[in-house]
Amino acid sequence: MSEQIQPFYTVHSLHCSLVLDCRGTGEGIKHGPAILYWGARLGPETTPEMLALLGTRQEAQACMPEESPIALSPELGAGFQGNAGIQVHRDGGQWASYSQIESVIEDGNDALTIVSICLATQIKITHRLALDQQSDVLTATTELTNIGDSTLWVDQCSAPSIPVPMHYNKILGFAGRWGNEFQRQSVDRFMGTYLRENRSGRTSHDSFPGVILHTEQTNEGAGAAYGLHLGWSGNHQIRVEEQFVGRAYAQMGELFLPGELSLEPNESYCSPTLYGASTQSGLSSLSQCFHRYIRSNIIDSRCTEKPRPVHFNTWEAMYFELSLERLCTLADEAAALGAERFVLDDGWFNNRRSDSAGLGDWFVDETVFPQGLSPLIDHVQAKGMEFGLWVEPEMVNPDSDLYRAHPDWILSAGVGLGAAPLLLARNQLVLDLTRPEVQDYLFNCIHGLLSEYAIGYFKWDMNRALYQPGSAHCEGRAVTHYQTLALYELIARIRSAHPTVEIESCASGGGRADFGILAHTDRIWTSDTNDALDRLRIQNGFSLFFPAELMGAHVGPKDCHITGRNIDMATRAGVAMFGYMGIEANLLTMEESEKTELKAAVALHKQHRELIHSGDLVRLESGDNENSFGVVSADQDEALFSYALLDSHRNSAPGRLCFRGLDPDAQYEINIVWPRQPTSISTSILDVINGAVISGDALANFGVQLPIMLPQSLLIFHLQKR
């Protein structure tokens, strides 16, 4: 602990610096700690005092002589006219927090803990900030403690607020829906508030908890940007506000429903972690920071110590029409194509002939599997594949033995006379995970399955939002916060008992994808659509924060069941091979020519899997009718680049594809490795490129002349340093 609080504190990572302003402890208006600078690493000749001098602001007309700062938690008592980071009260009183820094603890050269006290509201605020040395990712939390002697009601406790440079005038947010997640949504920053709120009780399909703030000139390969992500799988709020005085800030935190959070004396609440990255080198560089952080700090070692297995999932092959004979035949076909894990999807448990019954009764249906799952698992393993299983533990059908026995185990809108009726969605209600007996029941069911059967993987689904997240167990109070924590606790308990099991986070596709759930799971099902063209856009947005080895990407059937679009196998497989690859189609009816193509794609993915799952992602600038990106090894010795044409060329002939991220001084052998037999209507680059040795400089600055291609087709280039 510092004996005397210093006016400034600086922490560094490999490429970034963060300077904290703690001058609010001196004379004049007191205020909490604030970020003075976050960006490119500062040299030793640059002092915080220089930055403070350069940042001197004058009194604005019709304003206070001294502005209330954009503190880590801006405060009402300090006159902050934006959104206060902490909003509390005691039965309507003691609401205007006005804290003073009590201590600052420096943890090495990269972390700070700042403790502040507000005597007026009787709260302690603890901010923790750290810069990860290798990835340059900032992690930041706000902890609130009730040091009074009565109940403290908490309306808001955001993660630390981030001042945004005024020239970062573009906001890149994320919208979407089921089957169309992670869609980029760019707007010009404006005077006022950009606000996105999510009340679905999960990360959501339509409001991913991430935002990127950047300059007008920033693109994938150049320019300044901040990337911010809230690692939380429940309700959240994203706010970017430009104030009339000429300042801007970003603020993210959990979104509480009325009366949801209160703290008794000495109780504490900690905000979800805010993850941030700062770059001067474009959006791909920003993504690489997040990818490096996930790979070194979040992904479990048991998943990094072996290749990510190619999946076969039974859903689009069989839906609910299961039989042991057909499943075994499917397993034979999947193994022949190179699949390494066979996942039995929905329909395997008691009375599950449709999505209207059975959820909650997690016992193998003996009418379908008279001898349990062992015969199927034995057959799968004999083919050299692991076995995985679909579950949806948080949900229950009213038509189930569990609900008939325990109708009180569900979330609802309240209790007593006049309470809203229960709302069904997908024929489901939501189990109240905050009840210990519910936790125990679900753990025992899953523990029993994992103990009896050789199950190495769970696809953990969640197919509806929490529309009525009240708990009768808690006198009808809203419990989304506690439900989310209970989910984390349940998964952690299962993984503790079965440390080798891998778990996929699925919520009708990409509805639960965030760094919070990644602390407990190993794969994200990116979307329920396997339409390759939709997937290119979805995977593009996903890649801004998540690396390829977490991205479930499957080759679907020729006719997509969501869009009805018919897409060639070469394109479907070429899109899927750049993620955590899988197959989700009926192999029993698939044409032999398609199987041959698919088998070759699986083999190509395995050949380059290590590169795809460890390399640096480089997204390329492309038109609306194109998609292009590359994966470059850390040593720049090898790369794969994908170019896809989504719609017809605008001109008679297309333009060039320039390969960024290569060593400009090196020579690379270039080959088109997919599709197996690329064709063009006349002599083109396809006829002359394979085996050519070209400098990285020429590939980046001049590029390859693309051939005339049919819409919905793609090319994959392999580059090897020579």
Q: Quick one: tokens of 512?
A: 């639960």
Joined together, the tokens standing for residue 635 give: 């040593």
The H or E element spanning position 609 is helix 592-612
**CA distances (Å), origin 88, targets 75, 144, 256:** 11, 10, 12
The yes-or-no answer on residue 528 being catalytic is yes
Nearest to residue 178, comparing CAs of 453, 563, 696? Answer: 563
Q: How far apart, in whole angstroms, are the C-alpha atoms of residue 354 and residue 399?
A: 11
Sign of the dihedral defined by the CA atoms of residues 221, 224, 230, 236, in that order: negative
The Cα–Cα gap between 474 and 480 comes to 12
Distance CA 134, CA 16 (A): 10
Burial class (CB in 10 A: 0-12, 13-18, 19+), 372: middle
What does the alpha-carbon distance between residue 273 and residue 505 come to, in Å, rounded to a whole number?
A: 19
Q: Which two tokens stand for residue 610?
A: 């290590």
What are residue 431's DSSP bridge partners?
Answer: 410
- Output phi, psi for 494, to 5 deg: -65, -45
Torsion angle, CA of 37/40/43/46, rounded to 10 degrees?
A: -30
Q: Please identify which of the residues 136, 346, 461, 522 carries the catalytic annotation.
A: 461
d(CA 516, CA 25): 34
| CA dist 119 → 88, 124, 143, 148 (Å) | 13, 9, 16, 9
Active site residue 461: yes
**Tokens read off for 706:** 């693309």
Question: Cβ–Cβ contacts within 10 Å for residue 500, how many?
Answer: 10
Distance CA 461, CA 423 (A): 19
Residue tagged active-site, from 528, 531, 534, 616: 528
Burial class (CB in 10 A: 0-12, 13-18, 19+), 17: buried
| Element of type H or E holding 572 | helix 569-576
Q: How far apart are CA 634 and CA 611, in angstroms?
A: 9
Is residue 110 exposed (0-12), middle (13-18) or buried (19+ Cβ within 10 Å)? middle
Give the CA-trace dihedral at 696, 699, 702, 704, to 10 degrees: 170
Question: Mind telling me the catalytic residues?
Answer: 461, 528
